Chains A and B, each alone.
Chain A
Amino acid sequence: MRSFFHRHGKFQPIAPHDDREESHIPDDLWVKCHRCNELLYSKELEDRARVCPKCGYHFRLRARERIFLLSDDGTFHEWDRAVSPRDPLEFADSGGSYTEKLARTRQKSGEREALITGRATICDHRVALAVCDFDFLGASMGSVFGEKLVRTVERAAERRIPLVTISASGGARMHEGLFSLMQMAKTVSALAQLGRAGVPHIALLTDPCYGGVTASFATVADVVLAEPGALIGFAGPRVIEQITKQKLPEGFQTAEFLLAHGMIDLIAERTMLRSTLSSMLAHYARADARQQARLARHAERPEDVALTLTENGLVAAHVPALGIVSHHEPVIERVGMDD
């Protein structure tokens, strides 16, 4: 098996950001496996993408750790870091105001929001990435999460690059009320457009994934993958037990349970994820090249096709008979801080 680590490197903290306080790689020498209780040498665990060598338990990862593991060295370019949350409801609970909570969370997590987005390559395939950070308020989906995801989807559609989302979330963020709920519709509506553009969306569900995230963008992907053992569902297990007063079946809501019930395409082990994605991205690239070739042939018959050449070399082909609109990738990439 080809090493998951394409650079002989071991699991290292990702290039630190200005407001990043500390790395989240454990400093302790030994770590206890949450599942089999085996005492693991932390360096060895890191070398294995934090998958327990004894029982295969997949430890949770931070967003930037996932991006580091998944993308080709140094290719990740972050988008929309300047977008940060507000407190539109002036929400306060027994623990204080949402604004204070955000400040504390930002300090503790080193992130400004629960979703990190950007572009990168995976085994030389260009992708748009959106990755949840569970350490930021349980990666709950609020306005910023939704907005960043939608912008990522729009860029993916515009540039015709596949979208990869990695979800782990407690659901919609209660502190932003209905603004949060509406992000479910907002993200799915953007994905409908991505779908019409014929650009693939591959989703990876990781532990834990619940509520408004599972019930929106994460499960309408063209391909839905899940990490082994990840708990995935709509309602949380405690809520179900409380309401139904029934004992939950063995393995309830695990990735394996979802696979058996036909809800996901594949269980992707972390150490194989890069190669799985690489094969899949190659399939879509091949299919897309074929589509483009067919459209180009149509382009030779002007009665079917209207071609538009724009300033930056963007070519739009419209085939009215088929109702297909295709935007070839721009020759020159957009340049700017958000790029």
Chain B
Amino acid sequence: MTLTERDVASPLSAWDRVKLARHPQRPHTLDYVSELMEDFVELHGDRTYGDDQALVGGLARFGERTVLILGHQKGTNTRENISHNFGMPRPEGYRKAERLLRHAAKFGMPVVTFIDTPGADPGIGSEERGQATAIAQSLMTMAELTVPVVAVVIGEGGSGGALAIGVANRILMLENAIYAVASPEGCAAILWKDAAKAPEAAETMRITAHELHRFRIVDDVIAEPVPAHEQPRETMLAVGRALTRHLDELDAVLFSGNARGPDQIREDRHTKFRRIGAWREEIRREGGLPAELIIP
């Protein structure tokens, strides 16, 4: 069965979307940059160790604005994928991201990130050079930013390696993208003790855009009536329109007339993540039985 046409009668399963999200011909970060942006200047290196081609960044003009672009970069063939390490950043990638984020903050540039990675690189060298710390520091730097940040999950949102450039004021997601705490294969291997159960894991993990929107983690789902690799230009233009709308809304906060605009941007981002979670809490009422409060 082919997935090239959407069958309305039987909507795509989570596993179908995993396959679409990973499709090698799906547009990747630099495709979006060349389709939607002008005057892109790529900035390289973490100034400490190296330049990671799995996470690219630079300055670009997007409409009226100069924005800082950050994105995971996958290749479309094996050779490209090897040079981009299959879109799996090493610590120097996250340290480059952090450097560029500070750069954006310094000059008041909005940040646009494209999320598309199976996850952070799990190699020996990455561990030696502090993969966990690099991700954690990138999260911290993003949390501190006083400029608007919009993240778009364009393909595969793989775990901490994705989130490291995803602490955004707005999280957008293409309809056939996925965003997960672990790969379905990894989850199946651990909880089912069988990686072949990945399709079942994908279903129960709730990794699709619509489900994550329902959980109010994802702010906006960008429709993808035809899979992105079939209609790359239309998909990219739709992403561009959504980006413009969200950047405009965030600029409205930033320019709201009082000097606290930048603090408000940071505060709003904190509030967005502060409320994410699902728990229950017993609240003792005076002299009565415990009442149960369920959030959200």
Contact = CB atoms under 8 A, between A and B. Distances in A.
A234 B277 contact: no
A144 interface: yes
A94 B215 contact: no
B64 interface: no
Contact of A179 (B139, B217, B280): B217
B281 to A, nearest CB: 5
Contact of A178 (B144, B187, B212, B274): B212
A261 interface: yes
Contacts of A248: 124
A212 B215 CA distance: 20
Interface in B99-150: 120, 122-124, 126-133, 135-137, 139-140, 142-144
Nearest to B167: A185
A244 B143 contact: no
A280 B128 CA distance: 27
A185 B139 contact: yes
Interface string B281-296: 1111000001000100
A87 to B, nearest CB: 8
B139 A188 contact: yes
Contacts of A239: 122, 186
A84 B279 contact: yes
Contacts of B122: 234-235, 239-240, 243-244
A234 B132 contact: yes
Contacts of B193: 94
B55 interface: no
Contacts, number: 199
In which size bucket is the chain B interface? 35 or more
A88 B135 contact: no
Contacts of B290: 82
A218 B160 CA distance: 14
B180 interface: yes
B199 to A, nearest CB: 13
B192 interface: yes
Contacts of A219: 132-133, 136-137
A86 B280 CA distance: 6
Contacts of B276: 143, 179, 182-183, 186
Contacts of B270: 189-190, 192-193
Interface in B136-171: 136-137, 139-140, 142-144, 159-160, 163-164, 166-167
B269 interface: yes
A197 B67 CA distance: 30
Nearest to A217: B136
A93 B201 contact: yes
A49 to B, nearest CB: 27
Interface stretch (B24-32, B203-211, B228-236): B203-211
A178 B277 contact: no
A246 B124 CA distance: 8
Interface stretch (A15-23, A30-38, A169-177): A169-177
A214 B159 CA distance: 13
Most buried by A among B215, B290, B294: B215
Interface in B242-296: 269-270, 273-274, 276-284, 290, 294
B36 interface: no
Contact of B207 (A144, A178, A185): A178
A174 B180 CA distance: 9
Interface of B: 120, 122-124, 126-133, 135-137, 139-140, 142-144, 159-160, 163-164, 166-167, 179-182, 186-187, 190-194, 197, 201, 204-207, 212, 215, 217, 269-270, 273-274, 276-284, 290, 294
Kindly list the 7 A-B residue pairs having the minimum CB-CB distance in the complex, ordered from nearest: A143-B277, A235-B122, A88-B278, A214-B132, A93-B191, A234-B132, A189-B143
27 contacts: A82-B281, A82-B283, A86-B279, A86-B280, A93-B191, A144-B277, A172-B159, A172-B181, A173-B181, A174-B182, A176-B278, A178-B179, A182-B273, A190-B270, A190-B274, A191-B140, A192-B144, A193-B270, A215-B132, A217-B136, A234-B126, A234-B160, A239-B186, A240-B122, A263-B130, A263-B133, A337-B284
